[in-house]
Amino acid sequence: MSVAENLAAVRERIAAACARAGRDPGSVRIVGVSKTQPVETVAEVIAAGVDAIGENRVQEAAAKRPLVSGATPWHLIGPLQRNKAAAALALFDLIETIHRVEIADRLESLLTGGDRVLPVFLEVNVGGEEAKSGVAPAEAAALADHVGRRCRHLRLTGVMTVPPYDPDPRRSRPHFAALRGIAADLAVRLGTGPLELSMGMSEDFEVAVEEGATTVRLGRILFGERRPA
């Protein structure tokens, strides 16, 4: 199957999940996660109409994005180090992985004095896993307050999570529901409209959509297995 056929098949499965949940299928965006995939594949999925491109490493995006044209936004979905913040700003339209005050402050200071307002998501470690990035659920409110009050050049528009790995996608459901609850609390706190929910990957996106995902991040189901480095 071509990338375009894979994307069409995924859209059908999203539509079915939306029907089960009583949702509008137009409310779910697909981020094509193109890590390890060549730039030709990125161009292919953009031509097929994917909503955004997701890369988890700044350096990899730096090698690809200049070679790809078009208005499709690029999302950073991997951890951002302070020393890569300037490069990330040049490459990405949205950063999904704000998990510490220091990273928010670094981006804010780089943007200070300009007109650009960067949409960002908070990455939440819903499973409380030691080895995983993301703000602890109990600390999400404080981080959101900081971004909302102190970072005028950042606009908090969503939350993102990668739940603990489990081969059974049904086990992700409580984690997705937890993120939805956190997003609802933050929206009230910040006095914003509903926040975007970035959750669901190749194995569990249908469960995520049933639980309210507005952004799913899909790699292997669109592109096949990742390529060796």
Question: Contact residues for ligand PLP (CB under 6 A)?
Answer: 33, 35, 56, 77-78, 162, 201-202, 217-221
Q: How far is the CB of 26 from ligand PLP (least distance, A)?
A: 21
Rounded Cα–Cα distance for residues 87 and 109 (Å): 14
What totals of helices (H) and strands (E) does the chain contain, helices first?
A: 9, 8
Q: Which residue intervals of the chain are DSSP H helices?
A: 3-21, 39-47, 58-64, 85-91, 101-111, 140-150, 173-190, 205-210, 220-223
Comparison of 200 and 212: residue with beta carbon closer to ligand PLP? 200
What's the closest the beta carbon of residue 180 comes to ligand PLP, in angstroms? 17
Give the burial string for 191-229 (b: 16+ CB within 10 Å, else e): eeeebbbbbbbbebbbbbbbbbbbbbbbbebbbeeeeee
Residue among 33 and 53 whose Cβ is closer to ligand PLP: 33
Rounded to the nearest whole angstrom, what is the least distance from the CB of residue 81 to ligand PLP in the complex?
16
With CB atoms as reference, the residue minimizing the distance to ligand PLP is: 219
33 vs 207, beta carbon nearer ligand PLP: 33
Choice between 35 and 148, CB closer to ligand PLP: 35
Q: How far is the CB of 112 from ligand PLP (least distance, A)?
A: 28
For the bound state, the minimum distance from the C-beta of residue 16 to ligand PLP, rounded and expressed in Å, comes to 18
d(CA 218, CA 54): 9
Q: Specify the residue, 137 or 219, whose C-beta has the smaller distance to ligand PLP.
A: 219
